[in-house]
Structure 1
């Protein structure tokens, strides 16, 4: 259970960070949806634009395809990040309810086991300094 509690806490902290980062990239409630816009003229750069069609990011990678980088940024816009954070929080809530019910029914839980559900959610953050190697990779 100790691993589970630590992993849930770790994940909730990462989701809070992800939410804060996404919200910091927004200037109002509608600005979280971004679209990729290829150059319209030879002097323009590839851009990622907001709902007003204003450039959010001008994409000028040195060693990568501007289209690929721009589409990646567009795909992971703040609106999507916030939806993912919400979905992952719901998964954790469901997991905690399930784990509590299982402990109640079985009179305990093997505290040495690392949950494969939590491991799958945590591995995304394996590069974070608070990630523990024993959680699996």
Structure 2
């Protein structure tokens, strides 16, 4: 389980670094692209000067879907998800420590389904292990 937690923390740290490297404010959908929210530029010194175009797409229905998707997954949201994932891991560790204390050395042995679910978006990473898959070992 420690390997899975270490893997998750490394991926979450990388998500945080990448989000912070961008202008960490909301992105909004414009008619031909995604841009940094002008309202947030005024209030965020990191954003100032990044009046910014983030991404563009064709001005059609598919292009709008791309723009809405990109804007929905802006750095501010990624940073909120990083925080939430860290809280889930910390809560799991608190729970596991309490179980060990109560059960005199309890070792869960199996992969936590909660942590396995958190790791699933990183399944394409070369360090991801198939035994961490939530459905690993289940017959279809």
Place the TM-score, normalised by the shorter chain, in its bin: 0.7 to 0.9
Task: Name segments (4+ residues, structure 1) moved above 2 Å.
Answer: 51-58, 108-112
1:111 is displaced (CA, Å) by: 4.9
Q: Which residue of structure 2 aligns with residue 95 of structure 1? A: 92
Gaps of 5+ in 2: 40-50, 135-140
Aligned length: 121
Which sits farther off after the overlay, 104-113 or 51-60? 51-60
Task: Say if 1:58 and 1:9 are closer, same or farther in 2 by CA, change over 3 A.
Answer: closer
Q: Deviations over 1:13-66 (max 9, x none)?
A: 11100000001111xxxx52100112xxxxxxx1111122744223236xx811
TM-score, length basis structure 2: 0.79
Q: Deviations over 1:81-108 (max 9, x none)?
A: 0000001101111110110010111123
1:10 is displaced (CA, Å) by: 0.6
Q: Which residue of structure 2 aligns with residue 34 of structure 1? A: 27
Q: Does 1:47 align with 2:40?
A: no
Q: Is residue 36–residue 54 contact of structure 2 (8 Å, CA) maintained in 1? A: no
Larger RCO of the pair (alpha carbons < 8 Å, separation 6+) = 1
Please, what is the CA RMSD of the aligned residues? 1.8
Q: Is residue 33–residue 50 contact of structure 1 (8 Å, CA) maintained in 2? A: yes
Gaps of 5+ in 1: 39-45
Q: Deviations over 1:87-136 (max 9, x none)?
A: 11011111101100101111233453111111111111101111000111
TM-score, length basis structure 1: 0.81
